[in-house]
């Protein structure tokens, strides 16, 4: 039987050495079997440019190993020490406004700065060399929560090279970016810049490509370290994904480069935290499955014990909710549940962050609750989850919806995904939340709400899925632009069996009355000229609101407006039961 990982981030360097033995004893009490060590240890491991100090970490790992506790050993590159930033000010990130940040927090680096790339590989190499053979080593944890964007000159140069690789010549770039709008035509690569602050609206294709470039730049930084570690060690290597619309990481692509998909999850709501966790879990599994990880297994690398911690604010959850949270992840395929963090920090910027051992010590209720949970989970192994239904959640589309100029400001792509997740998974059914690049052939039903951006490959893949018998639900506000954010009128017409004559975003207080129900449509209405489809729901005025189109061996249902949850359940009743097949 494979045991679950159970534990969390452990930062022994914050405490005198005599506390370490207590920690290990308490870990055993709590049935902890894995701790993440070293995430923020760079300034301790490499106190100066040419000075290393591994003695303390040796002792920590030995102590852990003696107690049978494994280590998820981090490379500390997310927090360069002050000496580094003083030597290499050009490696500090620069904002869109041209303001260079400095140290004093964490995450102060530019992944395109040569000095930072070299320093990162060097410390990773030193850790690999020293600890590849340590008995406590279970896993490598590269960096932490990749997410610092930068707009510096290193990035500008890197972006030009990346674009040259993507487009070949500037003519192709000009076409892809539609630069004839507003006289932005580029002649030479070095005229192209990151989307720095400018006078008015930015070019959406430039912004989108820049996010792709930043993701790729970070991925290269990750791979540099992974290869360095791989050369020394056979332990699995990963990094912890942080979720959120601001993160410039294409997680679906990254999932193929990690040995296990690992996410951190920090819900924002006390009331709906389990819903948020369920979505994140199904999404992590979806990324893992799409990237070919067996059974879609994934690891919850961080969450806050017994509390919600969001936006710098901590709110306690009721007793018992920590267990509910853990089970929510485990029932959805997590191979372990880990916390940030083991012992609360006395000082520093997150001193009030929840911890398994809080400031009040091991007598505090949370330690008891986590310990009981540890005991309960000790006998459990990972759950294999099999889903027949997939919800497509596409980060490129999420980014595209963030453009300064979109057809409607009332479409919140992430909230819409949450709502659909609730509808599809409502009765406890398993739902994979998958990227648009996933193989869909195994699913009976695939739902893709508001899939604004669709590349040609996505068009082909969705058609292929339906042609072979799949049932696909699409909605308004889908397929509007291609992967360069260029409008693609009529791109769905053949697939849905209707011509979309006019897109009408609705004002927030406008609704569309539906025939035979008191439910209404909101947010958007597509005026359809039905060609080959069948109308399954009409507006009170007799316009098509939902249509169904047999396409090859499969079926496409298209929703021309945003239905409320009850109406969605009605509308999908048959396809959810598989009756449409």
Which residues 106-145 are close enough to bind a copy of itself by CB under 8 A? 106-108
DSSP 279-313: HHHHHHHHHHHHTT-GGG-EEEEE--TTEEEETTE
Q: How many other CB atoms are found less than 10 A from the CB of residue 518?
A: 9
Q: Cα(first)–Cα(last) distance of the chain, in Å?
A: 38
Least spacing, CB of residue 204 vs a copy of itself, in Å: 6
Instruction: Tell whether residue 206 is a contact of a copy of itself (CB under 8 A).
Output: yes
Contact 37, 74 (CB under 8 A): yes
Residue 57: its H or E element:
helix 55-66
Least spacing, CB of residue 348 vs a copy of itself, in Å: 3
Contact 330, 374 (CB under 8 A): no
Provide the strand spans (E) within 340-396. 389-392
Q: What angle do CA 302, 148, 155 make, to 5 degrees?
A: 150
Q: Which is nearer to a copy of itself, 143 or 285 (CB)?
A: 143
- Of the residues 276, 302, 369, 395, only one is catalytic, namely 302
Contact 224, 125 (CB under 8 A): no
What tokens were used for 268? Answer: 């924002």
Stretch that binds a copy of itself, among 193-201, 225-233, 392-400, 427-435 (CB under 8 A): 193-201
Residue with the two structure tokens 């508001």: 450
Q: Figure out which of the listed residues 2, 55, 346, 518 binds a copy of itself, where binding follows CB under 8 A.
A: 346
Q: Figure out which of the listed residues 133, 312, 428, 516 binds a copy of itself, where binding follows CB under 8 A.
A: 312
What's the Cα-to-Cα distance from 108 to each of 101, 118, 120, 208, rounded to whole Å?
Answer: 7, 15, 13, 23
Instruction: Tell whether residue 75 is a contact of a copy of itself (CB under 8 A).
Output: no
Instruction: Tell whether residue 93 is a contact of a copy of itself (CB under 8 A).
Output: yes
Q: Figure out which of the listed residues 7, 8, 195, 554 binds a copy of itself, where binding follows CB under 8 A.
A: 195
Instruction: Tell whether residue 314 is a contact of a copy of itself (CB under 8 A).
Output: yes
Instruction: Tell whether residue 490 is a contact of a copy of itself (CB under 8 A).
Output: yes
Q: Which is nearer to a copy of itself, 171 or 376 (CB)?
A: 171
Q: Figure out which of the listed residues 205, 263, 301, 326 binds a copy of itself, where binding follows CB under 8 A.
A: 205
Instruction: Tell whether residue 378 is a contact of a copy of itself (CB under 8 A).
Output: no
Residue 561: its H or E element:
strand 561-563
CA 226 from centre of chain = 20
Backbone angles phi, psi at 165, to 5 degrees: -70, -35
CA 202 from centre of chain = 25
Length of the chain: 581
> How far, in Å, CA of 273 to CA of 336, rounded?
19
Q: Figure out which of the listed residues 5, 9, 11, 334 binds a copy of itself, where binding follows CB under 8 A.
A: 11
> How far, in Å, CA of 249 to CA of 261, rounded?
14
Q: Which is nearer to a copy of itself, 347 or 428 (CB)?
A: 347
Active site residue 360: no
> How far, in Å, CA of 355 to CA of 339, rounded?
8
Instruction: Tell whether residue 415 is a contact of a copy of itself (CB under 8 A).
Output: no
Binding mask of the shown chain, residues 503 to 532, with x at each position contacting a copy of itself by CB under 8 A: -xx-x-------------------------
Rule CB under 8 A: which of 445-484 touch a copy of itself?
A: 481, 484
Q: Figure out which of the listed residues 2, 133, 363, 542 binds a copy of itself, where binding follows CB under 8 A.
A: 363
What's the Cα-to-Cα distance from 27 to each of 9, 211, 447, rounded to whole Å?
Answer: 12, 40, 43
Instruction: Tell whether residue 193 is a contact of a copy of itself (CB under 8 A).
Output: yes
Binding mask of the shown chain, residues 251 to 280, with x at each position contacting a copy of itself by CB under 8 A: -------------------x----------
Q: Which is nearer to a copy of itself, 467 or 507 (CB)?
A: 507
Stretch that binds a copy of itself, among 34-42, 222-230, 258-266, 446-454 (CB under 8 A): 34-42
Active site residue 302: yes
Q: Which is nearer to a copy of itself, 294 or 312 (CB)?
A: 312
> How far, in Å, CA of 512 to CA of 523, rounded?
9
Of the candidates 446, 455, 430, the one whose C-alpha atom is nearest the C-alpha of residue 391 is 446
Of the candidates 404, 384, 449, the one whose C-alpha atom is nearest the C-alpha of residue 422 is 449
Q: Figure out which of the listed residues 19, 21, 62, 102 binds a copy of itself, where binding follows CB under 8 A.
A: 102
Instruction: Tell whether residue 59 is a contact of a copy of itself (CB under 8 A).
Output: no
Instruction: Tell whether residue 573 is a contact of a copy of itself (CB under 8 A).
Output: no
Q: Which is nearer to a copy of itself, 205 or 370 (CB)?
A: 205
Instruction: Tell whether residue 381 is a contact of a copy of itself (CB under 8 A).
Output: no
Rule CB under 8 A: which of 531-550 touch a copy of itself?
A: none
Annotated catalytic residues are: 145, 302
């Amino acid at each position: 039987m494979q045991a679950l990982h159970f534990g969390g981030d452990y930062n022994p360097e914050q405490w005198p050495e005599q506390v370490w033995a207590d920690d290990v004893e308490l870990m055993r009490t709590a049935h902890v079997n894995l701790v993440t060590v070293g995430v923020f240890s760079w300034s301790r491991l490499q106190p100066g440019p040419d000075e290393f100090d591994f003695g303390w970490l040796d002792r920590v790992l030995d102590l852990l190993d003696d107690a049978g506790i494994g280590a998820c050993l981090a490379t500390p590159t997310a927090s360069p020490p002050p000496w580094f930033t003083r030597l290499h000010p050009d490696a500090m990130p620069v904002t869109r406004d041209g303001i260079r940040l400095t140290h004093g927090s964490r995450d102060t680096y530019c992944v395109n700065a040569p000095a930072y790339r070299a320093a990162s590989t060097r410390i990773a190499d030193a850790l690999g060399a020293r600890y590849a053979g340590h008995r406590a080593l279970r896993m490598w944890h590269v960096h932490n929560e990749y997410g610092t964007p930068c707009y510096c000159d290193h990035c500008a140069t890197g972006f030009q090279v990346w674009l040259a690789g993507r487009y070949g010549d500037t003519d192709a770039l000009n076409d892809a970016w539609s630069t004839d709008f507003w006289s932005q035509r580029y002649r030479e690569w070095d005229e192209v810049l990151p989307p720095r602050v400018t006078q008015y609206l930015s070019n959406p294709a430039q912004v989108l490509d820049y996010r792709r470039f930043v993701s790729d730049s970070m991925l290269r930084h990750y791979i540099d370290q992974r290869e360095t570690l791989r050369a020394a060690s056979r332990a699995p290597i990963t990094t912890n994904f942080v979720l959120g619309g601001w993160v410039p990481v294409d997680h679906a692509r990254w999932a193929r480069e990690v040995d296990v998909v690992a996410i951190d999850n920090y819900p924002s709501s006390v009331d709906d935290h389990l819903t948020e966790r369920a979505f994140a879990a199904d999404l992590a599994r979806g990324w893992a499955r799409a990237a070919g990880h067996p059974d879609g297994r994934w690891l919850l690398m961080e969450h806050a014990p017994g509390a919600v911690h969001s936006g710098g604010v901590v709110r306690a959850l009721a007793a018992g909710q920590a267990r509910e949270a853990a089970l929510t992840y485990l029932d959805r395929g997590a191979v372990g549940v880990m916390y940030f963090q083991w012992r609360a920090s006395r000082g520093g910027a997150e001193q009030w962050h929840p911890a398994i051992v809080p400031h009040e010590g091991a007598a505090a209720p949370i330690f008891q609750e986590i310990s009981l949970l540890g005991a309960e989970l000790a006998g459990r192994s990972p759950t294999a989850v099999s889903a027949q239904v997939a919800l497509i959640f596409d980060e490129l589309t999420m980014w595209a919806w963030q453009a300064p100029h979109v057809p409607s400001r009332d479409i919140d792509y992430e909230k819409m995904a949450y709502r659909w997740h609730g509808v599809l998974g409502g009765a406890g059914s398993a739902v994979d939340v998958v990227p648009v690049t996933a193989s869909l052939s195994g699913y009976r039903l695939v739902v893709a709400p508001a899939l604004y951006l669709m590349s040609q490959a996505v068009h082909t893949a969705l058609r292929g899925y339906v042609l072979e018998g799949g049932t696909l639900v699409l909605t308004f506000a889908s397929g509007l632009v291609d992967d360069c954010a260029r409008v693609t009128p009529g791109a769905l017409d053949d697939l849905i069996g209707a011509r979309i004559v006019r897109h009408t975003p609705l004002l927030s207080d406008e609704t569309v009355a539906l025939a035979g129900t008191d439910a209404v449509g909101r947010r958007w209405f597509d005026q359809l000229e039905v060609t080959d489809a069948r109308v399954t729901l009409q507006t009170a005025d007799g316009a098509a609101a939902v249509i169904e189109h047999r396409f090859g061996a499969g079926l496409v249902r298209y929703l021309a407006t945003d239905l409320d949850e009850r109406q969605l359940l009605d509308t999908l009743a048959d396809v959810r039961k598989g009756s449409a097949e």
